[in-house]
Structure 1
Amino acid sequence: MSGKAPRAQSRKKGETGRVGTARRELVESELYEHATRLFAERGFAGTSLQDIAESLGISRPALYYYVKSKEELLARLVTEVTNGPLDDLQQLVATEGLDPVAKVRGIVEVVVRHRASQPERFRLLMRSEADLSDELTEAYDHSRRAILKIIATAIDDGVRAGVFRPVDSRIAALGVLGMGNWVSWWFQPGGRDSVDDVVEQLGDMAIGGLQRDEHRALADGTPAAALKMLRQDLDHLERIIGS
């Protein structure tokens, strides 16, 4: 009997710990949602921790168990919005066997799904850039540059492989990222468009704008059209030689 009691107590402690963790995650999720809404409605400066506590239906001292300041809360929201897509994109491009087309389609899907799942948080981030600390601004800028580099590298790979037209990869990457980010401003969950439909159509648009013409037909019979095609081929050759 004496040998069983400690194990039973250990199980109870483990169960209590899991319940406590689950409850904390639930409250924190609600906390983020309420804070996002209040920051959007009243602005960061016009929102206090007391406002957030009242919105959650808890006391301000109870709120301190989850967050110590609204600056810390904003930092968590920014980190979640920026690091989520970056982590998924890094995992995507590390996948073996993906050709440039599959990578760009995957990139579009990652960005669109993140922005469609938490549109309010991304819009809040855009509106709150002036309220970010220097440290948080630097981290946010680093994340944006890393995401842009991942997209530009995938496009460059496609150009070198002859799959994509010779384009300025940075400008093209900004276009792909902007198209995905803009979803957070117009997508309505439960509306007429499903996330899958948006991912498919924007992926088609991204690839359609980058892919080379299969038949290499001239737009017209003019010397200018022929020179344009020749320049594209020379740009492609220079990229191959320089890689």
Structure 2
Amino acid sequence: MSGVTARERELLATAAQLFAQQGYPGTSMSQLAAACGLSKPALYHYVPDKAELLARICEAHVEKLAALVREVEAQAQATTPEARLSELLRRFLAVYGGARHEHRVLTEDLKFLPAPRQQRIRELEREVVNGFAAALCALQPRLDSERLAKPVTMLLFGMINWTYTWHRPEGPLSDTQLADLVKGLLLGGLPALGQAA
């Protein structure tokens, strides 16, 4: 979120928390203003409406995830395919754990945005999915030739996308340990894909 002031980041974090707790439709601009310690006119100085807040929360969260994919891909030649997948999983789970409200808002409230605002976010989501699919294909090339890269990638996201609802990094499993667990479950299942297909 380059070019965003500390006050704007605070406003987005507060809005994400309220949207996550109350739902986007159930949260008013008056409630947002009060939670941010602003008058309603002062809140409108930062954003024109509630939909803009929602769009900025979702865009910032998915852009952060897409940036992680780009960073890991940029180092792909210098590491093994398994280490690449491990790094993606570890870093994603760390972001999910630190952005519980933003992730809930993305998964549950994106549908409330007008289609044109959703399009940019969907493009970033596709970039993230494609980055994971590429990492999986580097590890198991036949996923690509058998057209299984996307289904396996979406199954992987099915494992990790809801961890924010129950996983706590300070709990019995660290982000790294959880990433290793997910990778172990996924890789242990890859040999069985032939029979399943």
Q: TM-score range by the shorter chain?
A: 0.7 to 0.9
1:125 alignment partner in structure 2: 106
Correspondences of 1:106-121 after superposition (within 5 Å): 106-121=87-102
Q: Which moved more, 1:40-49 or 1:132-141?
A: 40-49
Residue in structure 1 matched with residue 64 of structure 2 by the alignment: 84
Higher relative contact order (CA 8 A, sep 6+): 2
Tell me how large the CA RMSD over aligned residues is: 3.0
Task: Determine the C-alpha separation between the residues in 2 that align with 1:50 and 1:135.
Answer: 26
Residues 142-153 of structure 1: matches in 2 within 5 Å? 142-153=123-134
1:100–1:158: 8 Å Cα contact kept in structure 2? yes
Residues 1:67 and 2:86 are matched in the alignment: no
What CA distance in whole angstroms lies between the structure 2 residues aligned with 1:100 and 1:195? 20
1-structure distance, mates of 2:132, 2:49? 35
Matches within 5 A, 1:220-239: none
Partner of 1:58: 38
CA contact (8 A) 2:69 2:88 kept: yes
Secondary structure of the 2:119 match is helix
Q: 1:167 deviation in Å?
A: 8.0
- 1:154 and 2:135 correspond: yes
| 1:209-228 correspondence runs (5 A) | 209-210=189-190
- 8 Å CA contact 1:53–1:60 kept in 2: the answer is yes
One-letter amino acid of the counterpart of residue 22, structure 2: R
What corresponds to 1:43 in structure 2? 23
In the alignment, what sits opposite 2:74?
A: 94
From the superposition, tell whether residues 55 and 194 of structure 1 become closer, same or farther in structure 2 (CA, over 3 Å): same
Give the whole-Å Cα distance in 2 for the aligned partners of 1:190 and 1:106. Answer: 19
Contact 1:78–1:140 at 8 Å: present in 2 too? yes
Q: Secondary structure at the match of 1:47?
A: coil
- Name the amino acid aligned to 2:85: V
1:196 maps to 176
The offset of 1:131, in angstroms, is: 0.5
Count of residue correspondences: 192
2-side partners of 1:207 and 1:79: how far apart? 31
How far apart, CA to CA, are the structure 2 residues paired with 1:185 and 1:130?
A: 20
1:84-126 CA distance string (max 9 Å, x none): 1111111211213222111211221222111111112111122
What CA distance in whole angstroms lies between the structure 1 residues aligned with 2:132 and 2:14?
Answer: 33
Q: Highest CA radius of gyration, 1 or 2? A: 1
Q: State the identity as a percent.
A: 25
Unaligned runs of 5+ in 1: 1-20, 213-227, 233-243
**Secondary structure in 2 aligned to 1:65?**
helix
The answer to whether 1:171 aligns with 2:155 is: no
Cα distance in structure 2, aligned partners of 1:33 and 1:86: 19
**Structure 2: which 5+ runs fail to align?**
none
